[in-house]
C-alpha cells in the first residue's frame, strides 16, 4: 500500500470516527443487526429451509421413479446406445461383460388423489402423497461422492465456494437472535464425505457458515462455562474482548474481526437458548411417538424434531445430513433398513410443520447428491446393487411456495436420462432462492476480481413447481 493510500484510508477512518460511527461499529452492526442484511428482490413465499441431505445417493428407481419397462427387461444387457460415451464410478472395474439392466424388486403404487408413484419402502410418506411433490430427471456433474456433494450444496465441484445455506443467510439474514441463522445436524454411522466444506462460507465472511449442532449434551462443544466462572465474570470478559476487538477492527478493517465478536455474542446468548432447544421434555408423548424420537439419543428422528424446533425459533436454514445410502453391494436389505430410519421421521416432520402452520413458510427438500444406475452392479455372488448415476435422479420437495401433489420432470423408460427438458442442480438452487425472495442472478459477491453467485453462469427458476 502506498503512502497516499494509507493517508486516504486514515482520512476516511477519521471521518467516520468524527461522525461517531466508526467503521468497526458499522461492521458490527451488519452482523449483530440482521435487518441490515436483507437483500430480497421480490415477495418471499418461504422464510425457512430444511434440506434433508441423504448422503450416498438414494436409488430413485427403488423409491419414486417407477419404470415398468426396466422391470420388463430385467437381466437383459443394457443397450449400447445409452452407454455410449458414459462413465461410471466403479462399474467398469467390476464388470466383465456389458452390464445388465436391473428392474426393481420393490412394489410401487400410486398414492393420494395426486397419484404419485411411491414404493413400499416408504409407507409413511405414501400416506401424505398429496402433501409432497417429486422432481424427476435431475442431473448433476460428478459421479464421485465428495465432489458431487459439494456441487449439490455449493454449485461447484471445487472446494472454496459458499454453501447454499451461507448464501441464504448472507442474503437475507435470520429471524433468530439467540441461535445461528444456519445450523447443521448429522446422523448415521459417520459424517458425509466433504465434511465442513458442505456447510462452509467459502469466500463469504465466516459469520455465514453453518454451525454443527449435536442433539445430545451441549448443542455445541464447550458451550457451558467452566466451573467457578459466573455469568457476571463471563459478561465482563466478553465486554473487554469486544472492546479490544473493536479497536483492532477500526485499525485493520478486517471483517473477520467483526465475525469473531458476533460469534462471542451469539455463543453467550446460546448458553440459554441452546440447552432449551434440545430439551424435548416439553414435547408431548404423541409428538415423540409420531417422529419415533427418543430424548437423549442421537438419531435422524431426533434431528427431524430438532429441525422443526429450529425453524420454530427463527433459524433460517437447517441442513440435516443422514449417511449410508451408498448401495453398491446390495440394493435390498441395507436399503430397507435405512428407509425405515428416515421414512417415519420425514413424514412426521412434514405433518408437524403443517399442523403448526409452519409448512406454508418452510421449504423442505429431501434427496442425495446423485441417483443409481438402471444397470445392476455385482460385487459379491448372490447380491446385486447399483452404481452411481448422475444423468437422472429424483428429489422430493414440499412446503413454502411449492405446489403439492405433483410430479415435475421425467426420466426415460429405463430411468437412465431425462425425458424432455433437463433439470439441473443450478435450477434447484435458483428455485430455492426465488422462493425465499431472492433473484439468483442478483445475489452476488465480489471475489478475486469478479462477481460470484450460487448458480454460477447457469440456473433457471422451475416455474411449474411454484404454487
Spatial separation of the C-alpha atoms in residues 45 and 299, rounded to whole Å: 30
Residue 183: what are its φ and ψ, rounded to 5°?
-120, 140
- pLDDT at residue 271 is higher than 70: no
Q: In the prediction, which pLDDT does 37 show?
A: 47
pLDDT confidence tier of residue 84, bands split at 50, 70 and 90: low
Domain boundaries along the sequence of the chain: 1-32+224-277, 40-217+279-465
Asked if 290 contacts 348 with a C-beta cutoff of 8 angstroms, the reply is yes
Q: In the prediction, which pLDDT does 36 show?
A: 40
Position with higher pLDDT, 22 vs 64: 64
SS3 category, 62: helix
Spatial separation of the C-alpha atoms in residues 217 and 152, rounded to whole Å: 30
Per-residue exposure over 257-272, b if at least 16 CB sit within 10 Å of its own CB, e if not: bbbbbbeebbbbebbe
Q: Is the dihedral of CA 55, 56, 60, 62 positive or negative?
A: negative
Q: Which residues touch 202 (CB under 8 Å, ≥6 apart)?
A: 154, 160, 161, 162, 163, 166
Three cell numbers at 155?
Answer: 454449485
Residue 183 class from Cβ within 10 Å (0-12 exposed, 13-18 middle, 19+ buried)? buried
Spatial separation of the C-alpha atoms in residues 377 and 380, rounded to whole Å: 9
| Full-model pTM | 0.85
Spatial separation of the C-alpha atoms in residues 309 and 190, rounded to whole Å: 24
Q: In the prediction, which pLDDT does 19 show?
A: 41
Q: Is the dihedral of CA 23, 24, 30, 36 positive or negative?
A: negative
pLDDT digits (tens, 9 = 90+) for 422-458: 999 999 999 999 999 999 999 999 999 999 999 999 9
- pLDDT at residue 92 is higher than 80: no
- pLDDT at residue 253 is higher than 90: no
Give strand ranges (E) for 95-246: 108-111, 116-119, 133-139, 182-187, 211-212
Residue 165: what are its φ and ψ, rounded to 5°?
-65, -35
Range with lowest mean pLDDT among 36-45, 90-99, 112-121, 127-136: 90-99
Classify domain 40-217+279-465 at the CATH topology level.
Answer: Alkaline Phosphatase, subunit A (3.40.720)
Q: Percentage of the chain surpassing pLDDT 90?
A: 66
pLDDT confidence tier of residue 190, bands split at 50, 70 and 90: confident
pLDDT digits (tens, 9 = 90+) for 44-55: 999 999 999 999
Position with higher pLDDT, 148 vs 91: 148
- pLDDT at residue 358 is higher than 80: yes
- pLDDT at residue 141 is higher than 90: yes
Q: How far is CA 389 from CA 81, 86, 312, 366, 397, in A?
A: 16, 10, 36, 17, 20
The dihedral formed by the CA atoms of 46, 52, 56 and 61, expressed in degrees to the nearest 10: -80
- pLDDT at residue 125 is higher than 80: yes
pLDDT digits (tens, 9 = 90+) for 218-243: 666 555 666 766 667 667 776 777 77
Amino acid at each position: 500500500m502506498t503512502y497516499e493510500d494509507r493517508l486516504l484510508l486514515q482520512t476516511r477512518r477519521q471521518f467516520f470516527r468524527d461522525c461517531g460511527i466508526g467503521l468497526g461499529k458499522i461492521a458490527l452492526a451488519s452482523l449483530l443487526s440482521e435487518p441490515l442484511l436483507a437483500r430480497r428482490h421480490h415477495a418471499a413465499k418461504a422464510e425457512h429451509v430444511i434440506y434433508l441431505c441423504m448422503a450416498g445417493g438414494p436409488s430413485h428407481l427403488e423409491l419414486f421413479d417407477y419404470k415398468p419397462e426396466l422391470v420388463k427387461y430385467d437381466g437383459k444387457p443394457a443397450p449400447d446406445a445409452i452407454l455410449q460415451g458414459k462413465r461410471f464410478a466403479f462399474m467398469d472395474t467390476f464388470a466383465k461383460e456389458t452390464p445388465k439392466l436391473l428392474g426393481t424388486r420393490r412394489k410401487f403404487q400410486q398414492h393420494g388423489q395426486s397419484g404419485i408413484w411411491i414404493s413400499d419402502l416408504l409407507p409413511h410418506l405414501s400416506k401424505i402423497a398429496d402433501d409432497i411433490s417429486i422432481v424427476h430427471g435431475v442431473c448433476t456433474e460428478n459421479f464421485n461422492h465428495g465432489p458431487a456433494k459439494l456441487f449439490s450444496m455449493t454449485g461447484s465441484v471445487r472446494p472454496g465456494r459458499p454453501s447454499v445455506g451461507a448464501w441464504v443467510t448472507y442474503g437475507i439474514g435470520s429471524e433468530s437472535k439467540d441461535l445461528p441463522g444456519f445450523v447443521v445436524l448429522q446422523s448415521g454411522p459417520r459424517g458425509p464425505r466433504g465434511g465442513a466444506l458442505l456447510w462452509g462460507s467459502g469466500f463469504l465472511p465466516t459469520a455465514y457458515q453453518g454451525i454443527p449442532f449435536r442433539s445430545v449434551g451441549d448443542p455445541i462443544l464447550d458451550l457451558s462455562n467452566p466451573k467457578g466462572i459466573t455469568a457476571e465474570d463471563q459478561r465482563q470478559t466478553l465486554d473487554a474482548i469486544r472492546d479490544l476487538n473493536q479497536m483492532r477492527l477500526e485499525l485493520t478493517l478486517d471483517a473477520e474481526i467483526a465475525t469473531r465478536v458476533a460469534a462471542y455474542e451469539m455463543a453467550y446468548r446460546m448458553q440459554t437458548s441452546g440447552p432449551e432447544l434440545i430439551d424435548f421434555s416439553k414435547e408431548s408423548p404423541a409428538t415423540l411417538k409420531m417422529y419415533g424420537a427418543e430424548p437423549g439419543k442421537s438419531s435422524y428422528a431426533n434431528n427431524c424434531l430438532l429441525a422443526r424446533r429450529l425453524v420454530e425459533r427463527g433459524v433460517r436454514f437447517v441442513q440435516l445430513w443422514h449417511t449410508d445410502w451408498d448401495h453398491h453391494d446390495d440394493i435390498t436389505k441395507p436399503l430397507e433398513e435405512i428407509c425405515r430410519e428416515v421414512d417415519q421421521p420425514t413424514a412426521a416432520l412434514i405433518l408437524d410443520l403443517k399442523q403448526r402452520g409452519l409448512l406454508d413458510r418452510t421449504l423442505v427438500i429431501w434427496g442425495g447428491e446423485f441417483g443409481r444406475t438402471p444397470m445392476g452392479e455385482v460385487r459379491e455372488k448372490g447380491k446385486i446393487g447399483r452404481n452411481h448415476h448422475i444423468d437422472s435422479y429424483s428429489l422430493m420437495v414440499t412446503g413454502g411456495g411449492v405446489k403439492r401433489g405433483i410430479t415435475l420432470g421425467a426420466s426415460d423408460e429405463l430411468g437412465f436420462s431425462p425425458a424432455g427438458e433437463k433439470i439441473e442442480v443450478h435450477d434447484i438452487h435458483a428455485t430455492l432462492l426465488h422462493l425465499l425472495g431472492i433473484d439468483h442472478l442478483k445475489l452476488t459477491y465480489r471475489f478475486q476480481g469478479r462477481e460470484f453467485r450460487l448458480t454460477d453462469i447457469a440456473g433457471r427458476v422451475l416455474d411449474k413447481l411454484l404454487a
